[in-house]
A and B are shown apart, each in its own frame.
Chain A
Amino acid sequence: NAGVTQTPKFRVLKTGQSMTLLCAQDMNHEYMYWYRQDPGMGLRLIHYSVGEGTTAKGEVPDGYNVSRLKKQNFLLGLESAAPSQTSVYFCASTDDEKLFFGSGTQLSVL
């Protein structure tokens, strides 16, 4: 049972490049979330999904898009990366109140 798996773990992008972060969970959870973590700001919710085929905006959605085509996967896309998107990204999933977190993706945008 792998839990929540994020790929890649590290990535460096140039400004304007695009990329997709993949989150996969094997617990059959309905709810999935993408957070970003920045020093002194805790975790801020980017987008979330309450089920397959649904997505919703969180606190800081600008510059990101998401898709939940399959229940087990939640993709986070950056269409045109900006230095302000340098951060650590965490995916989480749940079926009740306890969130299970992935180990994070460290993204640097130069």
Chain B
Amino acid sequence: AQSVTQPDIHITVSEGASLELRCNYSYGATPYLFWYVQSPGQGLQLLLKYFSGDTLVQGIKGFEAEFKRSQSSFNLRKPSVHWSDAAEYFCAVGALEYGNKLVFGAGTILRVKS
């Protein structure tokens, strides 16, 4: 069965500092991997996704993520965080053969201090 682990419940970074959010997944084959962001009281917005090919994927808002098969990881990065990036971030894994349904991690809350 698919599973996703986000080891960090909360992360606080200073505005302008770099960011890395960790995500580890468990899945038998090559999964589809996603990062979503949720602002308070809002639904989820897709930041980026990985299906195949280049293991470094670029997303919206200056985010990128790197798929590392050997580590079963899909960490999210941003070189310089803005105060507006404060939100909750979810990593998810999915597969077409499972009805396209996604399994989400528990989320990481990002706080940005000025």
The chain A residues found within 8 Å of chain B, CB to CB, are: 31, 33, 35, 40-45, 48, 50, 56, 58-59, 90, 94, 96-99, 101-104
Contact = CB atoms under 8 A, between A and B. Distances in A.
B101 interface: yes
13 contacts: A31-B99, A33-B101, A40-B107, A42-B90, A43-B44, A50-B99, A59-B103, A90-B43, A94-B100, A96-B100, A97-B34, A99-B102, A101-B44
A97 B94 contact: yes
B51 interface: yes
Contacts of B102: 33, 43, 45, 99
A45 B103 contact: yes
A75 B101 CA distance: 17
A102 B9 CA distance: 24
Interface in B81-114: 90, 94, 96, 99-107
Which bucket holds chain B's interface residue count? Answer: 20 to 34
B101 to A, nearest CB: 5
B18 to A, nearest CB: 24
Contacts of B107: 40, 42
B90 A43 contact: yes
A31 B101 CA distance: 9
B63 interface: no
B43 A58 contact: no
Given A42-B104, A97-B51, A98-B49, A104 B9 contact: no
Contacts of B6: 42
Contacts of A96: 100
